[in-house]
Structure 1
Amino acid sequence: MRRLALPLLALFAAGCLDLDFDPPHLIKEARIIGLRPEPPEAQFGEDVVFTTLIVDETGADLSEAPDVELRWTVCVSLAAIIRGAGLGAGSELDDDCREGGEDLIRLDTEGLPPNAARLPGAEVLAVVAQLMMPGPGGPMPEPVPGLEPGLIDSLLVVIAEVGVPLSVRLEVYRQGEQILVGFKRFAITMRADPTTNPPPPRFSLDGAFVSARDGDDPTLCVPEGDALSVEAGAEVALDPDDDEEAWLETYPVFNFDGVVQENEESAYYSWFVTAGSVADDITQRPNDDTTWTAPEEPGTYPLWVVVRDGHLGMSWCRVDVVVR
């Protein structure tokens, strides 16, 4: 392996390898560009609804395609919760999260849009119930084999004061063949003030604002004024709304000394297009604006912004821009 590395580096340096990688903002094939839990921090017993944004080079929503199937799973086991709490070293537990395994939960999609699925809160509650102390006069829970003494107390402290991250897995199949896999963290907690997702986006294109906050669809940005149109090849300024302080939150974490401290969220903006180019794939204040160079060919083109809070939350919207 080492003998191959130097010749390859030499070829890169000499420009002899013509590797044409598409920039992250340019959608040239099927991509998962958003996966949002609602809520991002769920209290025990609360359902979590996951929504995804899957698009291709045409701008189509692939979750609505008749030959596309979405399969959602979460590994919900005591072992997964202990690992998520950072206490895995104190446990000899394992889980069965293989396909068909007893700890792998296939999420419910009944009554939801094609891009969504639900994790029933009762599934997580049943796992954690193994750890809970009984009420007055109630029977003591059976001891859980494989747990070191004191681990249960530590785990309950983490759940109560911070929360435990878990992960949802999304597999996308087209005509029976897997084409995409995505993961997203969410958390379960007993805190009275869990964090929330960012609001639907609002941003401007060359000073003209579009927003997803006032319409029926929180993922569709519509012009607040006249319809959007730009000249072919124009450099279009993209600038998020400066209202971040109104929705950014704090959340507790354990530091290296084992003491709970408050961390602050920070807004990140990921930009995606099917044509043209964006100067910065991801922006963050104080330089959260960027520029989209519109395509040379007239037409109507989609543009997406995905907002992340640097913790667990996410929102997004799409706007269609006429290039003339």
Structure 2
Amino acid sequence: MTYVLVLVVLALALPWGGAAVAGRLAGVLPPRAACWALTGAAVLLAGGTVGALFGLLHVPFLASLERLPLPRVLEVWPAAVPLACAAGVALLVQLVLLARRRLLHRSLLRRAWLSAEAGTGDGDLLVIPGSEVDAFALPAYRGRRGRVVVTSGMVRSLKAGEREVLLAHERAHLAGRHHLLSAVVDLAAVVHPALRGLREALAFHTERWADEAAATAVGDRRLAAAAVARAALAGASPGRVRGYPLLSATSGPVPRRVEALLLPAPSAPRGGARRASALALAGTVVALAATALALAYGLHEYVEHAAERLTGADGGH
């Protein structure tokens, strides 16, 4: 039983290290690659957690399938049933939280589309009348394609060139399907608390991805930086909530984004030291995630092997 506990503890502890390394890796990668690295790490680490819990839950069920009497199982593994019950409760709680989170996603998206019905425009742009200063990318919903939503107040607060940057930024969110990446990481964070930090990291890097796309579209990084800063100042509101499904140019740590836009366009790590660092971090993330999954699988295999030994032992009496 000690072996089982070690496997479970390792599988549940690895996401803490994996999330920290994934955050470091994202910091040395271009925004697009950083987003995919964070999303992949979140999925793999969450999968390892679920696998470990399912392995524990599997013990009594496997014993019943092998027609092992419960007293015999408890004689060998006294903590088998309590641990299985705890794992079952944890999985049930995760399932409920995932369902609630997904329903919240759908509710927010539905409310956003209802609020955008007052808008007018052409193509993928909707302009909502009013003095409020806001702009966001509205993902596709029930057959309706994604739109860029901008209020009249935001249009008036920006210059012509800055408006082009804003629209290009929001269109980059839609084209890159950033809301799907955000939703995946948001749901993964429900599975394990260590993954919550990846949500903030992903939010920053999706904004950076859209910033770079906008700067490329207008061909002027300084103009893009000015537009992001002006839009954020004009639309600053402490009560607003951003993130999935409403991705906006005014969200995230704006000073860091502006600073990055005033620097040369990012590229893949170059030079021996930076490349080695990026490869080492990437390898560590993959290794930690793979180890979590391998531990979960190993737990399942160990339970089956132990059940076979118990079955053989009982058959020999």
Q: TM-score range by the shorter chain?
A: under 0.3
TM-score for the superposition, normalised by structure 2: 0.28
TM-score for the superposition, normalised by structure 1: 0.28
Compare CA radii of gyration and give the structure with the larger one: 2
Structure holding more strand per residue? 1
Higher relative contact order (CA 8 A, sep 6+): 2
Structure holding more helix per residue? 2
